[in-house]
Amino acid sequence: MRKLLPLTAIGLALAAPVQAADWDYKDIADALHSVMEADRTVYTKLIINRLQNQEKVIKASEHWKDEKALVLPAQMFRYGSEAVAEKGAKFSYSLLSLWPVNKQNNAKTAVEKEGLQAVLKGDPYYKTEILGGKKYFTAVYPDKAVAKACISCHNDHKDSPRNDFKMGDVMGGVVLRLPMN
């Protein structure tokens, strides 16, 4: 009997059990990213864009605690990634850019740099890499401007190295790593 892949481990709710043999690293990375992208888009459109840009009742700020503001979508994403790591997940993810407002979100590895260049065309990028002696399946997905809030935040930020983003532009990439056996 084949081992079943625990669905809770990848955050999916499917009607039928999925056999582990039916999933490869790309499938798992794509599924994880689908959940991440949906959550990030919903938060950006329904919370940030609506409350800040449309109804103008509260702003989003990188200094959200001091300013009693909303957490920026990029910060929400990072906090989620940190929470997943604290739980001991066997995968990691981050939001990086060729034009990061926060310099810590710059590409560091060759695969991250290649991936961020590749996703500018709008398609995911997949590659294996060795980090710290361990082999990883690394996927980079385009992170696009989905709301006016994305564009105004990046284009108007004093530390932004780019200020000409438009709706639908790739602003960066989600880098997801899965350890390989």
41-100 pLDDT tens trace:
998 888 888 887 888 888 877 778 887 888 888 889 999 999 999 999 999 999 999 999
Could you give the residue ranges of the DSSP H alpha helices within the chain? 25-42, 64-67, 73-86, 110-118, 148-156
Residue 5 pLDDT class (50, 70, 90 cuts): very low
Residue located via tokens 């060759």: 110
Whether residue 7 is predicted with pLDDT greater than 70 in this model: the reply is no
Q: For residues 46 and 62, what is the distance between their CA atoms, to the nearest angstrom?
A: 18
Residue 20 pLDDT class (50, 70, 90 cuts): low
- Rounded to two decimals, the pTM is 0.82
CA atoms 128, 131, 136, 141: torsion sign? negative
